[in-house]
Amino acid sequence: MRHCVPWLPRLALVAGLIGLPASAIAWDYTPAAISGLTSLYGYLTNQNATLERAAAKYPSLRNDIQQVRNAFDRQYPEALATVTRLFQDIPLPATDRARLATKVLEMDREAMQSALASEPAMQAYLQRVRESAQGDMEKASLQLLLAAVYEDKPAAELASPMARSYTTKGIRQAGAIDLMLRMPLSWERDPAREKLLPDNAIFAFTSQGGNGLSTIDLLARPLPKDGAKDGAKDGAKGVGKEGAKEATKDAASAAAAARATEELKALTGASAKVIAQGTVRLANHRANWASFSIASDGGRLQYGRVWWVPLPEAGQTAVLLCRTPSLSPQAADHERQRLEPLWQAVAATLSTATPAR
């Protein structure tokens, strides 16, 4: 049996009370995210109160209650404390937040009373909480709960048993690419956004169960032309032996930066500033990477990191493109630092069935 936090029907209620842009902080307070967060707050608060009252009312169930609490806390560490903090940080006046809390707590009051009505009813309630601790709840609620729990350490979610593996095999846009990657469950695949991305978008993931503003995308691109060696040779012409090695290195670096800038413009549709770049081994293939920033109107910045994985056997390049929202410089830098460990962890899972030659 699947148990859910019934927050979707509440969207109309909350949306009627909220009309605000996303906040420039780690948690993306979009209207849909606020609705889900408010519902989670009510659900977890009432669950905690129900278990406390049950322990006092039914002493014979105290061991079972503690075991269920422990199971839930192991799966979702500090869930109530984190969701409460995020709820209290909703960019609304305190009176409006209080009104939201009152509404959502009232909605679950009947379920609490039913669970406390008798010992058998409480045993059935404990079983539902036990199943929720195993991930048996409505998907959107589960995704938002995980996003909240791992809000300050998103890379850790990738190691949780609920993380998902994806394969490009059989996806038309992937062509001959046979690639696997692992993603946190709280990042929702967005087919609608895949259709809007340039070139061949294989996967497009959005944070906070699809309600956030950060993105991780996997795309297919043509194999790059190796212009770095030619640029290095041209740069070394006319230089003596002592300076030839350094000139070759500088020319190669400049050519790589120029190529990365050109590729980023094709991927993002904007002029990007390359901050750093290099090469790395990802599973069974080598990849080129670059970190970048994109300036937008109003002094806002977007940070990101991209990996290009040449796959000669497929005749294509797989591209992992990770981006923050466009935020104020300070908030964007904070988001970059928060998400970079996750970006690198996801990139490290990229692997193909065919080893590199």
Give the chain's end-to-end CA distance (angstroms, integer): 48
| Strands (E) located in the chain | 164-167, 179-183, 188-189, 200-206, 215-222, 273-282, 285-296, 300-311, 316-323, 351-352
Query: Does the pLDDT value for residue 190 go beyond 90?
Result: yes
The alpha carbon of residue 153 and the mean position of all alpha carbons in its chain are separated, in whole angstroms, by: 11
Q: Where are the domains of the chain?
A: 8-152, 157-352
| Span 3-17, average pLDDT | 41
What pLDDT digit, counting tens, does each position of 251-310 carry?
A: 667 777 888 899 999 899 999 999 999 999 987 789 999 999 999 989 999 999 999 999
Q: Does 108 or 204 have the greater pLDDT score?
A: 204
CATH superfamily of 157-352: Mog1/PsbP, alpha/beta/alpha sandwich (3.40.1000.10)
Query: Does the pLDDT value for residue 250 go beyond 70?
Result: no
| Span 148-169, average pLDDT | 94
Band (113; pLDDT cuts 50, 70, 90):
very high
d(CA 77, CA 81): 9
- pLDDT value of residue 353: 59
The token pair at 291 is 């970190």
Query: Does the pLDDT value for residue 111 go beyond 70?
Result: yes
User: What's the alpha-carbon Rg for the chain, to the nearest Å?
Assistant: 25
| Percentage, residues of the chain above pLDDT 70 | 83
Q: What's the mean pLDDT when you consider all of the chain?
A: 85
12 three-class SS: helix
At 251, phi and psi to the nearest 5?
A: -65, -40
Q: What angle (nearest 5°) sits at the alpha carbon of residue 39, between those of residues 110 and 57?
A: 40
Q: Which of 2, 15, 85 is nearest to 45 (CA)?
A: 85
At 272, phi and psi to the nearest 5?
A: -105, 145
Query: Does the pLDDT value for residue 243 go beyond 90?
Result: no
Look at the block and give the residue holding tokens 């094709």.
266
Query: Does the pLDDT value for residue 97 go beyond 60?
Result: yes
Q: How many CB atoms lie within 10 A of CB 222?
A: 10
Q: Does 11 or 103 have the greater pLDDT score?
A: 103
d(CA 138, CA 107): 17
Distances (CA, A) of 219 to 189, 224, 276, 310: 13, 14, 21, 12
For helices 94-115 and 119-133, angle between their N-to-C axes, nearest 10 degrees: 120
What pLDDT digit, counting tens, does each position of 167-188 carry?
A: 998 888 888 899 999 999 999 9
- pLDDT value of residue 341: 97
Query: Does the pLDDT value for residue 236 go beyond 50?
Result: no
- pLDDT value of residue 110: 87
* 220 strand-pairing partners: 200, 318
- pLDDT value of residue 151: 93
- Name the residue type at position 79: A
Q: 133-152: buried (b, 16+ CB within 10 Å) or exposed (e) per residue?
A: bebebbebbbbbbbbbbbbe
Q: Which span out of 256-260, 343-347, 350-354 was modeled with the highest average pLDDT?
A: 343-347
Query: Does the pLDDT value for residue 84 go beyond 80?
Result: yes
pTM: 0.84
At 206, phi and psi to the nearest 5?
A: -125, 140
Distances (CA, A) of 73 to 40, 70, 143, 321: 15, 5, 16, 33
The strand pair at 273-282 and 179-183 is best described as unpaired
d(CA 119, CA 157): 36
Band (247; pLDDT cuts 50, 70, 90):
low
Query: Does the pLDDT value for residue 335 go beyond 80?
Result: yes
For helices 62-75 and 119-133, angle between their N-to-C axes, nearest 10 degrees: 20
| Span 333-352, average pLDDT | 95
The token pair at 142 is 């589960």
Among the residue ranges 41-45, 219-223, 346-350, the one predicted with the least confidence is: 219-223
Q: What angle (nearest 5°) sits at the alpha carbon of residue 145, between those of residues 140 and 147?
A: 95
